[in-house]
Amino acid sequence: MKYLTTALALSFLYLFTDTSSHFSSGGFDMKDFNKDRVKTVVVSHRGTGDFRTIQAAIDSIPSNNNNWIKIYLKHGTYNEKIVIEKQMIVMQGNDASKVTIQYNDAGLANSSGPFRLNAEYFVAINITFKNTYNNIKQTVPYKDIKVAPSAILMADKASFYGCRFISVQDTLADLLGRHYFHKCYIEGAVDFIWGRGQSIYQNCVINVKGVTSKKMVNNREMLAGFITAQGRESEQDTSGFVFNKCVIKGTGKAFLGRAYRGYSRVVFYGTHMSNVVVPQGWDAWHYKGQDDKFTFVEVNSTGKGANKKGRVRWEKNLSAKEVDFLLNPQTFVDNDGWMATLPSALVSLYYNHLQSLSFRI
């Protein structure tokens, strides 16, 4: 394949022959990432770094920045509402379970929460993004929760490694641009991965919380939310969510997705689905009668929730070539090669992933 030579050439830098061995509940092993020669500023809310707040560190970066700058976050909980308007930032923690950016804020889907990205070329590694507004420990009525995103992505060319996104409704606002998520954890109940983003979710864990939506499935009421609400708006719209070798688990029930716009596109490939996934699988929402325009796809998935008995009749069956195009980062999210401009350890990890694809359909 055309990218194989490049992959082999880069692999000597920081070879990850088994990326799973570098990931735990805390995130990625950072020993290789720390070797990248980029300027680093340190944030510690205890005063042992260059800045006490993340926003102060971001504000210190020149507006016309054209060199990668690493913002290293020491362990701690940062109660901040962060907005990034500057490009070429790597924001890094060493353990996602010990580095949390959180805020208690709800009501506005495109501005509430602890984190908003408005600039290109951004990387986050081993960080938890959490909206603490809906602190739900067990199943509650839908009417008792509010829109409360943990992260809002409004920019192109962003990637996340070993990060966690935690809330209940609209957890990850994947609104605009091309994004790549590797070994991330996403928790929520209602529309908790949503927007018009063009994104690949690789080896991620999706945790479904229990919230009632009073949705009728097979003529009976189900306590079910929605994992995705993708907003593709036309055949020419390149957006969509692709989940490759992920895991769906949890304590609630959920549809794989609903049509947030008339050409919604979501693909699950090789994903292990527990019985939290309702039999119907997908919902047309306000676009009933237009289901031929959706691209809702499941390929080679496993687990009780992957049983297609009871699925909606209009779930799509794509050709192997069409699935390959969506699974391959180089054709779906990286057609201009932006991911090769990331810090070297991430480039190595990315190309190692490409090698592992091997187009197996």
Catalytic positions = 170, 191
Residue 76 · residue 99 · CB < 8 Å: yes
Q: Which residue has the tokens 């490939």?
A: 269
| Residue 233 φ/ψ region, left for φ over 0, alpha for ψ in the -120 to 50 degree band, beta for the rest | alpha
- Asked whether 103 and 140 are in contact (CB, 8 A), the reply is no
Neighbours of 14 (CB within 10 A): 19
Of 260, 268, 247, 249, whose CA–CA distance to 311 is shortest? 268
The whole-angstrom separation of Cα 100 and Cα 165 is: 10
**The token pair that represents 199 in the structure block:** 């994104």
| Residue 13 near residue 33, CB atoms below 8 Å | no
What distance in Å separates the CA atoms of residue 168 and residue 139, rounded to the nearest whole number? 11
